Amino acid sequence: MDNMIPMPIFSPADIDDYRLIDSGDYEKLERFGRYVVSRPEPQAIWAKSLPDEQWRKMADARFERDRGNDERGRWVTREGMADRWHIGYSYGGMNMKLRLALTSFKHVGVFPEQAANWRYIYDEVSARMPYGVPSVLNLFAYTGGASLAACAAGARVTHVDSVKQVVTWARENMESSGLGDIRWIVEDARKFVSKEVRREHKYDGIILDPPAYGRGADGEKWVLEQDLYPLMAECRKLLAPDGFLILNLYSMGFSSLLAHSLLRQLFPEADPHHGELYLTDDMAKRCRLALSRGFR
């Protein structure tokens, strides 16, 4: 046990408009604002706490996978459910209004566990503001939660994603949140970073949230295992000497310890924090409370 490496856990930042109600049997039941959705979750390897009947009663929308395709599927919705709706998130001077929708990839437009990172970004940028306006680059930026956090704190933000539709979605979120002046780029992240290196640009903050697999704006293939290290090596050239960098890895094959080792090699002068972002469902909270009472 003396050789065990402690694994930090990054506590989730509560979002009033979000609850993870229950999880298990490779699914999760969540409330986003006024709607409850049931969708796959490959890491929920335990059993559900609530019966399937209760899940069906509570869910306004349920995602069903296509046969032979683990990624795509369709939503079965209750009559009257809106195609689009909004949730809010506030912290400090940041007041996000995020548009949600049901997509064919089971996503709804926001990853609520990222609220812990949004707070960090907001605080980091705010701390730098007295010394000049920081520039922040958000790669694989999706619908822009991290971009909004940096912008709300005063940063000049460059938002890069290869999918035009999600960049448009992110822009809608910016406008709904009363923010402006984010620079929007529809391009493969690797191509954009290479161009910025040649231009000798520098950023005070770089945020990366790469998928396990993906396609660039012109069909470029992205494979995390092959492409992450070369991209991070280029990002090192873009990062200002006192800059901050955030790397998220959702691939089940990549642990935070692997990310830590990667960053230690590329940034030997730094001591990067690493750990797990997580959400706890309401039923698990009740179980822990019951255990604490029982063993007192």
Evaluate whether residue 166 is within a structural domain: yes
Q: Rounded CA gap, 175 and 252, in Å? A: 34
* Residue 296 pLDDT: 40
- How does pLDDT run along the chain (296 residues), one tens digit per residue? 334 344 455 656 678 899 999 999 999 999 999 999 999 999 899 999 999 999 999 999 999 988 766 668 899 999 999 999 999 999 999 999 999 999 988 999 999 999 999 999 999 999 999 999 999 999 999 999 999 999 999 999 999 999 999 999 999 999 999 999 999 999 999 999 999 999 999 999 999 999 988 888 888 898 999 999 999 999 999 999 999 999 998 766 788 888 889 999 999 988 888 888 888 888 877 665 555 554 44
Beta bridge partners of 100: 85
Burial zone of 219 (CB within 10 Å; 0-12 exposed, 13-18 middle, 19+ buried): exposed
- The answer to whether 207 and 122 have CB atoms below 8 angstroms apart is no
* Residue 192 pLDDT: 97
* Residue 6 pLDDT: 45
User: Number of structural domains, the chain?
Assistant: 1
* Residue 51 pLDDT: 96
Evaluate whether residue 32 is within a structural domain: no
Evaluate whether residue 208 is within a structural domain: yes
Tokens for 42, please give them. 């490959």
Evaluate whether residue 19 is within a structural domain: no
* Pairing outcome for strands 84-91 and 94-101: antiparallel
Evaluate whether residue 120 is within a structural domain: yes
Q: Compute how many other C-beta atoms are within 10 angstroms of the C-beta atom of residue 122.
A: 23
Q: Rounded CA gap, 51 and 67, in Å? A: 25
Q: Rounded CA gap, 197 and 134, in Å? A: 18
Q: Domain span at residue 206?
A: 110-277
Which phi and psi angles does 86 have, rounded to 5°? Answer: -125, 150
* Residue 65 pLDDT: 86
* Residue 156 pLDDT: 98
Evaluate whether residue 31 is within a structural domain: no
Evaluate whether residue 231 is within a structural domain: yes
H/E element holding 9? strand 9-10
DSSP structure class, residue 162 = S
* Residue 106 pLDDT: 92
Evaluate whether residue 61 is within a structural domain: no
* Residue 247 pLDDT: 95
| CATH number of the CATH domain containing 176 | 3.40.50.150
Q: What is the largest CA-CA distance in the chain?
A: 63
Q: Which residue has the tokens 């999880």?
A: 23
